[in-house]
Amino acid sequence: MTNEEVRESVGLFKDQDHWIGFIELAAQVNNLRAEFFAPATKEIRAHFRENLPAGWKCEGWNEHREDSRWYHEDFGSSSLVLCFGWKYEFVLKLWDEKTFDSAGMSEALATPEFKPVRQAMEREDPHPHSSCKLFERNNFHFGSQNDGMIPGDEMAWYAYHRKDDFVKQAIKKVERFLGDPEVVRLLEKLNRDFKRP
């Protein structure tokens, strides 16, 4: 918002009740965002309760109600997982870098053997943390000027007001991994081969 737009916005608050109401509403931005994401997240998780490869589990995580992760139960939730987090960023993440050899896993992912895993991610964006093996930042499309890089708060609006489209895109991202038996086999191999004794 430009300085000029801020100055113009002051005129929206004709009386103190409007101003106080705005302040109270602004203080609830995190709760409002969670409410925007909640119906879509519920639908995505319901889909995967019925559509997961054997041994895989989907669950919520973190204090944010919209965060979801998928992992193989034999290796647990601290293993290499797929997740939506941080306002629906999509990540292949190693949760516990002490129990698993993170550097070895990264090196393996760079080899031709694991190319199908890398190709399952629609786009690879850089991420500064070594635990994030593959990362796709806000790559959803709704005919917006921000398509492919939609800010998280804008994404929340789409999750609620364009829920069916949002859910379809989110499910497709996960199914590119868990709907492909070869990718599932390779994810399990990464967990098995790089678990420390």
pLDDT over 70 at 133, yes or no: yes
Among positive and negative, which fits the CA dihedral 142, 144, 147, 151? negative
* 54 CB burial (10 A radius; 0-12, 13-18, 19+): exposed
List the single range of 33-37, 174-178, 186-190 with lowest mean pLDDT. 33-37
- Show me where the domains of the chain are located: 30-193
pLDDT value, residue 143: 96
Concatenated DSSP letters of 116-143: HHHHHSS-----S-TTEEEEE-S---SS
* pLDDT tens, position by position, 56-65: 999 998 766 7
pLDDT for residue 128: 84
What's the whole-number mean pLDDT along residues 22-38? Answer: 91
pTM over 0.85: yes
Question: pLDDT tens, 83-122?
Answer: 999 889 999 999 999 999 999 999 999 999 999 999 999 9
